[in-house]
Structure 1
C-alpha cells in the first residue's frame, strides 16, 4: 500500500465513510461464566413444570371424593389433571371445586404453594434475564472503577493471540488485559478465555474509551491492515499520551508513518519473517535459537529486569543471566558499550535466561 492510498484511506475513515460498526462499539463482553446452554435451561424448566403438574394431579386424584364436578359424575384422573392445570395456571374456570374440608385444606397449604412454584418456574426465564443484565451492569461498573495500568490489545487474530500468550507467560494477569476487535465471535472467544472483550471499531474513540484506554499503560495494535493500524495509533495516542504503544505492520515503508503517529515500537511482520527465513537458510541452528527466543516459556527467554543492589557497581558479565543490553534512562546500551561496563542501580537489563518451564521440565 502506497502512502498516498494510506492517507486517502485515513481521510475517508476520519470523515466517517468507514463507520459500518457504530453499534458494535457499545458492547463490553466480560469473561464468560459457566452456565447451562439455553436449550438445557428450557428443558430443565419444562421438566420442573411437568413435575409440579404431576404432583398436583396426584394430590387431587388421591382425594377426588372431596371435589365436585358441575358436569356431574365422579372426579377421575383426567378431571384431576384438568383441575390441576387450570388451578396452577390461575385460570380457575370453577367447574370443578373442592367441597370437602380435607380438599380445601389441601388447596390452602399444598396446592397454593405449588401454584406459586409453578408461576415462578414459568416467569423464571424473564427474571433470570433481568438478573443477568443487572449482574452484567454491576460487573462492568466494577471493572471500570478498578481498571488501571492495564494492557489493551487491538485485534485478536494470530498476532494478537500470541501477544496475549506472551503477556500471560510473563505474569500479566488476565483481568489486566482488554481485547478490542470488530468481530463478535472473536470477542466471545476472548471472553471464554477469561479476558475482557470490547466489541467495536478501534478507529473510533468511543470504542477505545470503553476499553478504558485512557488509563492503560500498554497498547498492542495488531490490525490486519496498515492504514487501520495508523488510524488506531493516532486515536490511541490522542487519548493516552503516556502509554507504550507497540504496533505490528506488514510493510516497511509504513514504519516511519506509524512512529510519527505515536507508536513507540513498530514491528514489521513481513520483513521480520523474511530475515528469520534467511538466517534459517544460512544456518538452521541460528534460526532454531531465534525461534526459541521469540517463544516465551520454551527453552530460553529474553526478558527485561531491574538491576539488583548486589549487581550495582559490577560488570554485566558478573550477573547470573546473560546480559545483552543495558537500559539507562531512555538510552539502550549494547553490552560492549564502555558506558555499560559498570551497572547502576537505576539501570534495567535485557537478559537471556532459561525459561521457568524448561527448568521445571528438566528437573
Structure 2
C-alpha cells in the first residue's frame, strides 16, 4: 500500500512508494470486523427489498413483510435461493442483477473466503509460535543482522551448529528477510526492548551475540539481556575501544572492537603484507588456516602444548580460564583441557584427501599422457 507520485507531464516516469505502518490485529478482531461488514451488506440488501416490497411476491400470501425481506436477503446472499419470494417487476429484477448479485459475491468472498484464510493462517502461525517457544532453550540469540550478524551466523553454521537453535532480532525488515533466506528464525523489533527480548525466549538462551551499529544501543541491550538472563554468555561487538570496559561492566563476557580490529589489520598489512595476509587467512573460513577449539585427546595428556602434532596450540582452557601456551601452569596438558589451535581448514584437508585418492591420481596420470 503506498502513495504514488510522478514527474510533471508523465506520471508513469517515476514511482515513489511510501510504506505505511502495518498493524497486525488479532484473529478475533479480524473476524469481528469481517462479520460487521457482512452484516452491513445483508442490511443493504434487506433495505433494498423492503423499500421496493411491492415489486416482490411471496408464494405463501402474496405480500412481503420486513421479516420476509430479511429472509429473502439471507437466502439470496448465501446463494440458497428457495424461490418462494421472487421479484416480479422489471426494475426489481434489474436491481437484483446489478446490485444484489454483486452484494452476494462480496458477501461470500468476505465472510467465507477471507474468514477461512484468517483462521487457517493465524491459527497455524499461533500454533507454530507456541511450539517454537515450548521447545526453544539453550539457544543462541543474535541481536542485529547486518554484516557482522550474518557473518556470526555463517560461522556458527560452518562449525555445524544447529540453525534451528538460532533466533535473530532486527529492527530492519531487510535483516528479517535475510534471516529467513538463511533459514534462521527471526523477530522484527528493537533488541533493546524487554518485550522483544522476551519474545526470543532470552531467559532460556545459552548464547547472546549483540552486533548493533551503535555502542550506546549495544550497552543498553547488554544491560537488558543481563537482567533477563544472568547466566547467558554474552558477546558484544563495539565500534570504539574506549567503550569496551563499559560494556564489560554492563555484563558482557566478551567484547570485540570492530573498528580497532580492522584498523590494526590495515596497519599490519601496510607494515608487513605477509602478516596481514596471514591474519586475514585466520579470520576467513573454509580456506587456508583456521582457528578452532577442541578437547585434548588421550594421547596428548601429559605432553607440552608445543608437542601437539599437526596443529599449533595458541592457548589452553583449564577450569574455564584461558591460559597462553607458554604459561607454566599448562606446561603439561591434562584431561579435560580445551585447546585453542591453528590448523588447516577442513575444506583444504578434504581437497588434499581427494587429490591423494587413487581415482584422482589416475586422472592426473591420464591428463599427463594426453
Common fold by TM > 0.5: yes
Which aligned pairs between 1:14-53 and structure 2 lie closer than 5 A?
none
Structure 2: how far apart are the matches of 1:361 and 1:324?
Answer: 25
Structure 2: how far apart are the matches of 1:336 and 1:26?
Answer: 61
State whether structure 2 residue 346 is matched by structure 1 residue 356.
yes
State whether structure 2 residue 321 is matched by structure 1 residue 346.
no
8 Å contact kept, 1:154–1:180: yes
Which aligned pairs between 1:273-312 and structure 2 lie closer than 5 A?
273-312=262-301
Q: 2:149 aligns with which of 156, 160, 164?
A: 160
Q: 1:132 aligns with which of 121, 134, 155?
A: 121
Number of equivalences: 261
Map Cα deviations across residues 1-29 of structure 1 (whole Å, 9 max, x no partner).
xxxxxxxxxxxxxxxxxxxxxx99999xx
Q: CA deviation at 1:198?
A: 1.1
Query: Structure 1 92/211 Cα, relative in aligned 2: closer, same or farther at 3 Å?
Result: same
Q: Which has the larger radius of gyration?
A: 2
Q: In structure 1, what is the equivalent of residue 204 of structure 2?
A: 215
Map Cα deviations across residues 146-178 of structure 1 (whole Å, 9 max, x no partner).
111111000001111111111111111111111
**Which structure is richer in relative contact order (CA contacts within 8 A, separation 6 or more)?**
1
Structure 1: how far apart are the matches of 2:306 and 2:174?
Answer: 49
8 Å contact kept, 1:230–1:261: yes
Q: TM-score, structure 2 length as denominator?
A: 0.65
Q: In structure 2, what is the equivalent of residue 6 of structure 1?
A: none
Map Cα deviations across residues 192-247 of structure 1 (whole Å, 9 max, x no partner).
32111011111111111111111111111010100000000000111111111111
Q: CA deviation at 1:361?
A: 3.1
Structure 1: how far apart are the matches of 2:254 and 2:337?
Answer: 20
Q: In structure 1, what is the equivalent of residue 257 of structure 2?
A: 268
Over aligned residue pairs, what C-alpha RMSD do you find? 2.9
Q: TM-score, structure 1 length as denominator?
A: 0.66
Structure 1: how far apart are the matches of 2:308 and 2:255?
Answer: 30
Q: CA deviation at 1:185?
A: 3.1
Query: Structure 1 185/130 Cα, relative in aligned 2: closer, same or farther at 3 Å?
Result: farther
- Runs of 5+ consecutive residues of structure 2 not aligned to the other structure: 1-21, 27-74, 85-107, 355-370
Q: In structure 1, what is the equivalent of residue 223 of structure 2?
A: 234
Q: In structure 1, what is the equivalent of residue 171 of structure 2?
A: 182
Q: CA deviation at 1:126?
A: 3.7
Q: CA deviation at 1:288?
A: 1.3
Q: 1:329 aligns with which of 294, 312, 319?
A: 319
Q: CA deviation at 1:249?
A: 0.9
Map Cα deviations across residues 109-143 of structure 1 (whole Å, 9 max, x no partner).
xxxxxxxxxx7999445423321211111111111
Q: Secondary structure at the match of 1:198?
A: strand
Structure 2: how far apart are the matches of 1:235 and 1:26?
Answer: 28
Query: Structure 1 214/26 Cα, relative in aligned 2: closer, same or farther at 3 Å?
Result: farther
